[in-house]
Amino acid sequence: MDNVKPISKVEGTPIQQVVIGSCTNGRLEDLEAAVKILKGRKVSASVRMLVFPASGRIYRKALELGYVTAFVEAGAVVMNPGCGPCLGVHQGALGDGEAALATTNRNFKGRMGNPKGEVYLASPAVAAASALTGKITDPRKGGF
| pLDDT for residue 89 | 62
Residue 142 included in any domain: no
Q: Which CATH number covers residue 87?
A: 3.30.499.10
Residue 1 included in any domain: no
Residue 140 included in any domain: no
110: containing domain: 8-133
Residue 143 included in any domain: no
Residue 138 included in any domain: no
Q: What is the mean pLDDT of residues 96-120?
A: 74
Mean pLDDT of the chain: 87
Number of separate domains in the chain: 1
113: confidence class by pLDDT, cuts 50, 70, 90: very low
pLDDT, one tens digit per residue, over 61-98 is 999 999 999 999 999 999 988 766 665 566 766 778 88
Residue 56 included in any domain: yes
pLDDT, one tens digit per residue, over 20-30 is 998 778 899 99
What pTM did the predictor assign?
0.90
Residue 66 included in any domain: yes
What is the SS3 assignment for the chain? CCCCCCHHHHCCCECCEEEEECCCCCCHHHHHHHHHHHCCCCCCCCCEEEEECCCHHHHHHHHHHCHHHHHHHHCCEECCCCCCHHHCCCCCCCCCCCEEEECCCCCCCCHHHCCCCEEEECCHHHHHHHHHHCECCCCCCCCC
Residue 122 included in any domain: yes
